[in-house]
Amino acid sequence: MKSPQAVSPLPVTSLAQEVLRAGRWLALACVFTSAAQAQTPAQMSCPAKSLAWTTPLTGKSCAGVLAATPSGTSVTVRNTLSGVTGLATLKCESGVWTTPTSHDCTATAGTLTTSTTPTTPITSLTTSLTTTPPVFQAPVVDAAEVAAARLLEQATFGPTAAEIARARQISAATWIDGQLAMPATAIAAGGDSTDPVREAWFMAMGTAPDQLRQRMVFALSQILVVSAGKNASGRELSPWLQTLSKHAFGNYGALLREMTLNPAMGKYLGLGHSRAPAPNEDFAREVMQLFSIGLVELNLDGSPRLDANGKTIPTYDQARIGAFARALSGWGFANGFEDMSAPLVAREQYHDRGAKTLLNGVVLPAGQTAAQDFDAVMNNLMAHPNVAPFISLRLIRHFVTSNPSRAYVQRVATVFKQSGGNLAATLRAVLLDTEARSAPGADAGHLRDPLLHTLALVRALGGQVISGHNVFWDYYLMGERPADAPSVFSFYSPMAPLPGGSGLVGPEFQLYAGSQAVRRANFVLALLDGGLPGSLRIDLSPFLAVAGNPQTLMALVERTLLQGRLSASTRQTIGEAVFKTSDLKQRALTALYLTAITGDYVVQK
């Protein structure tokens, strides 16, 4: 996938350029300060003298010009940074400048001052600064480290150094199988507030050992959507998350059946209040459009089937929505109004007992019970040939790439179909496919959404995920507060085109409009600079320890975040901004911040 700089005209491009431009203006200058006015007359003056040297560590060149100076004057130029001092001492004797007694300018940059002995006038002093930044080199990283990092980027909320070290010693299949066998992190029942449930889910994303399950729950939550926008208490959210976690590696048909009667879904899409003779059609529509078969008929490779006129073929019509709504009528909450303690139960007096025609001409006879019609609807959906490519494509786009090849989709969909909708087998096919494990092309990958981006950054830097409570509003402003999707379509449409008319799909870019991109960049900076101490905490000490050497700092940042995958042009641009920043903390922050918001990092490949 093209980087955000290439496709998002305002967000990253203008922001990154502005930061780099600021970095150039804030680069350390060589500053000369003249001594006090002299009290003795000049005798024989030395001509104007150019002062120049190059700092060995960075190649920074400092130059200043002293005006004609009286004999008997000694001039000491001092360059200091963090206690390191380099001196150049010159003396004017009988109209001739002596060779400097020392020329040991070893500090990378700093404040330059001049002093004279005796105090005599320096009538004019001009200064200039030239810089010659080095060519920044990629860190030395082997293929096994890159392969492990890419697997973990796709299958977790971000690789950690420890997990990379472990994953590189085993095959991708072995790592996946270990995660599939891991016990699920428990999801407690919620109470009156949504925040404890949201908090527990956020903490599981960032810290739970069963990371592959957490990513699968996150993926499924964007297909089978429930939101705090309507389910306004924790008890109305937790049944939904519990069902997603329970079936994350199970059978999709079983997940769909249980989610249909889940009380949280029953409230969100109204099935718990659907009664004949005027049943609610919301769930009937979304169970087809978003949860199973989509809008148009698909080939196994995910491409649309076309009729004799070259037109797409709708999967259902309004009559089918009505028939599904009638077939699913008569389900209500188990123990009172919107009770969340148990699945929906049949209320036969509210069930439409007439005949119904479902997908592909399947007819349900009149007189069936609510349970019989329910079973028939679920079987009718799961028998549709669209389910395999529809769900497979959604999972590929979440875990690996927004623009998979048709062959990739067909290979995964074949596994889904042959396994009867086994999600563990399908997920293995998604992650182990040659298109996922081979070197990515220019259009591969997908934009990280705000949660994936920021949690991956914390995990990569060995940081702490302490609490989400104080940052949920920030995530809301970035377009992705957990469990608070704005609609049943989740936070973004899975078919949204990439900006710029490239013909590619880029769903997550719907959360990267100008203001959201700037808010995300500001959040990243606050995170790195210690501005979120009660929520997310980063230890900068490893980077501060090498900040005196821009080359070493850049190599450490790139290896930590990208394992050597920063593009050469981006590496050089960021390196030059780092090179021209003198304060060691600001230098470390500049390297981390600019790398963390560049397209090479924000787009997961």
Tokens of 210: 């069963």
Q: Please state, rounded to an integer, the average pLDDT across all residues of the chain.
A: 85
Contact 577, 590 (CB under 8 A): yes
Phi, psi (degrees; rounded to nearest 5) at 334: -70, -45
> What pLDDT, on the 0 to 100 scale, is given for residue 72?
63
> Which letter does DSSP use for residue 591 in this model?
H
Q: Strand, coil or helix: what is 470?
A: helix
Contact 43, 23 (CB under 8 A): no
Contact 462, 161 (CB under 8 A): yes
Residues 294, 298: Cα–Cα separation, whole Å: 9
Residues 20, 262: Cα–Cα separation, whole Å: 51
| DSSP secondary structure string for all residues of 389-419 | HHHHHHHHHHHT-SS--HHHHHHHHHHHHHT
Contact 476, 484 (CB under 8 A): yes
What percent of the chain lies above the pLDDT cut of 90?
75
Summarize the confidence of residues 71-94 as an average pLDDT: 53
Contact 87, 102 (CB under 8 A): yes
In 3D space, the residue among 133, 139, 25 whose CA is nearest the CA of residue 579 turns out to be 133
Contact 377, 369 (CB under 8 A): no
pLDDT band of residue 36 (cuts 50, 70, 90) is very low
| pLDDT at residue 85 is higher than 80 | no
- What pTM, to 2 d.p., does this model score? 0.81
437-469 pLDDT per residue, tens = 999 998 999 999 999 999 999 999 999 999 999
pLDDT band of residue 5 (cuts 50, 70, 90) is very low
Burial environment of residue 181 by CB neighbours within 10 A (0 to 12, 13 to 18, 19 or more): exposed
Type and span of the H or E element at 589: helix 584-597
| pLDDT at residue 88 is higher than 70 | no
Tokens of 225: 């959507």
Lowest mean pLDDT of 88-102, 206-220, 250-264, 416-430, name the range. 88-102
Residues 425, 411: Cα–Cα separation, whole Å: 12
Q: Strand, coil or helix: what is 104?
A: coil
| pLDDT at residue 17 is higher than 90 | no
Q: How far is CA 256 from the centre of its chain?
A: 29
> What pLDDT, on the 0 to 100 scale, is given for residue 331?
98
Contact 194, 264 (CB under 8 A): no
278-301 pLDDT per residue, tens = 999 999 999 999 999 999 999 999
- The number of beta carbons lying within 10 Å of the beta carbon of residue 249 is 22
| pLDDT at residue 187 is higher than 70 | yes
467-504 pLDDT per residue, tens = 999 999 999 999 999 999 999 999 999 889 988 888 99
| DSSP secondary structure string for all residues of 272-286 | GG--TTS---HHHHH
Query: Degrees (nearest 5) of the Cα angle 199, 202, 204?
Result: 110
> What pLDDT, on the 0 to 100 scale, is given for residue 1?
52
Give 465's strand partners. 536
Summarize the confidence of residues 124-135 as an average pLDDT: 55
| pLDDT at residue 533 is higher than 80 | yes
> What pLDDT, on the 0 to 100 scale, is given for residue 153?
98
pLDDT band of residue 114 (cuts 50, 70, 90) is very low
- The number of beta carbons lying within 10 Å of the beta carbon of residue 122 is 21
